[in-house]
Amino acid sequence: MQVFNQIITDLWAMYHGDCIDVLKGIPDNSIHYSIFSPPFASLYTYSNSERDMGNCKNHGEFYENMRFLVKELYRVIMPGRLISFHCMNLPTSKERDGVIGITDFRGKLIQLFSEAGWIYHSEVCIWKDPVVAMQRTKALGLLHKQLKKDSCMSRQGIPDFLVTMRKPGENLERVIHTNESFPVSMWQKYASPIWTDIKMGDTLQRKSARAEKDERHICPLQLEVIKRAIELWTNPKDIVLSPFAGIGSEVYTAIRMGRRGLGIELKESYYQQAILNCQNAESEPKIQDLQECEIEEEVLSMTKQEYKDWYFEKYREYPTERLIEKMEKQFTKEEPKELEKAEEEEEDLSFLD
Alpha helices in the chain (DSSP H): 19-23, 59-76, 94-97, 105-115, 130-137, 144-150, 184-190, 223-233, 249-256, 268-283, 290-295, 304-315, 321-328, 337-352
For 287-316, how does the pLDDT look when each residue is reduced to its tens digit (9 = 90+)?
Answer: 764 455 455 556 667 787 887 887 777 665
Mean pLDDT (whole number) for 214-235? 81
- Cβ(17)–Cβ(264) under 8 Å? yes
Mean pLDDT (whole number) for 99-114? 95
Q: In what order do the strands lie in the sheet with 119-126?
A: 5-8, 12-16, 260-265, 239-242, 31-36, 77-88, 160-166, 119-126, 194-195
Cα 123 to Cα 84: distance, rounded to the nearest angstrom? 9
For 112-124, how does the pLDDT look when each residue is reduced to its tens digit (9 = 90+)?
Answer: 999 999 999 999 9
Whether 345 has a pLDDT exceeding 50, the answer reads: no
Question: pTM for this structure?
Answer: 0.78
Identify the residue with better confidence: 190 or 214: 190
Sign of dihedral through CA atoms 262, 268, 272, 273? negative
Query: What radius of gyration do the chain's Cα atoms show?
Result: 23
pLDDT of residue 61: 82
- Cβ(268)–Cβ(209) under 8 Å? no
Of 54, 31, 350, 22, the residue nearest 217 (C-alpha): 54
Of 179, 144, 167, 6, the residue nearest 77 (C-alpha): 167
Domains of the chain, first to last: 5-286 (3.40.50.150), 297-352 (no CATH)
Length, in residues, of the chain: 353
Cα 139 to Cα 134: distance, rounded to the nearest angstrom? 6
For 321-336, how does the pLDDT look when each residue is reduced to its tens digit (9 = 90+)?
Answer: 667 776 666 665 565 5
